[in-house]
Amino acid sequence: LCMDEFDGLAFYNGGAVAGASEAHKHMQLIPLPMAQSGPRIPMETLLDGSGFGDRFCAVSGLPFSQLFARVDSRDHNRAERAYHLYRDMLDAAGLNEAGADGGARQLGPYNLLWTREWMLLVPRRAEFFQTISVNAIGFAGALLVKSDEEAHALKRHGPMAVLTHTAMPRR
């Protein structure tokens, strides 16, 4: 419903290792574009041409484990289709288990990024690269630092090395 009202990036930090700062589950939504100039989402340029139809794939330009899918923004049933696609992505990543009550149980930390056009799921192995905490927004291309030392470390190692260190390795 929110994305019907305005263009945005929804994100979910599934667990403390994935950057969750609250004990309860919630998604967040930020308006797009993320910056006044450049692409509306910095990482989006690497996603072009990937994940067509009702299936998902790994993006070849990303050196860490992830699953990517296109979402048809014109589909009137897109919310239901996106939900089922998301559940299938969790299953494929080995992050979903059926609970005794018929619900699902999360088996590991992950980040989910979702726009009107696509979804990206990134299984996680670490919250930090050195002292830099990475949450879902990092996988959109926005790495936040708290000090000059962290900024220098980010420049020295590069954003992709930071993301690769915190995500699960590619299979």
* Phi, psi at 20, each rounded to 5°: -65, 130
The total number of residues shown for the chain amounts to 171
Alpha carbons within 13 angstroms on the beta-carbon side of residue 20 total 19
Q: What is the pTM of this model?
A: 0.91
Residue 159 clears pLDDT 90, i.e. is over it? yes
Average pLDDT (108-115) is: 95
CB 74 within 8 A of CB 90: no
Give pLDDT tens digits for 18-59.
988 887 788 899 999 999 998 999 998 888 666 555 588 899
Give pLDDT tens digits for 85-96.
899 999 999 998
Contacts of 170 (CB under 8 A, 6+ apart): 58, 63, 64, 65
The two beta strands, 128-129 and 132-133, are antiparallel
What tokens were used for 3? Answer: 């994305």
* Rounded distance between C-alpha atoms, residue 170 and residue 61, angstroms: 12
Give pLDDT tens digits for 40-51.
999 988 886 665
Residue 17 clears pLDDT 80, i.e. is over it? yes
* Rounded distance between C-alpha atoms, residue 52 and residue 145, angstroms: 34
Q: Which residues pair with 13 in a beta bridge?
A: 111
What pLDDT band is residue 149 in, cutting at 50, 70 and 90?
very high
